[in-house]
Structure 1
């Protein structure tokens, strides 16, 4: 419920108007109506406390067979201190625990 959700709501609207929601789908057979901002936050983002984020990164690593680079995209800083703390936590507490 913030700027990130608003950004996904806008993106879903734009891609929907262009008939391109398949770009957001984890399953090509899912209906377009299922692609919502909340769906995008749940399926396309890794969000949560340290344990949740670490667990999801480990699962992603296992699913795709590893990765050499981790890219964090941070934009729409509605609360700069919160975003900076999140980036610091990722760099110091989570990434060092990845394989």
Structure 2
């Protein structure tokens, strides 16, 4: 992945983290508020989800998965070609 894209995700992650740090002192988690507490929990959870998504992209986990899947696909292709060539040799030998 290009450095510019990672930088963009890093900046967005920092902005989301800053918003979370700024909002935490003013968020109410009291049990008596009902809907306000529910909103607070959902808002914090969503903020953490956004931060985790950007961190996931920065670490490049998707790139590693793509490379691993490509290796598996190539190995299966080689096995399939070997099987076809063996079957072709057997049919020509008979």
Which is greater in Rg?
A: 2
Q: Taking structure 1 as the reference length, what is the TM-score of the superposition?
A: 0.30
More helix by share: 2
Q: Taking structure 2 as the reference length, what is the TM-score of the superposition?
A: 0.31
Q: Which has the higher contact order (CA 8 A, sep 6+)?
A: 2
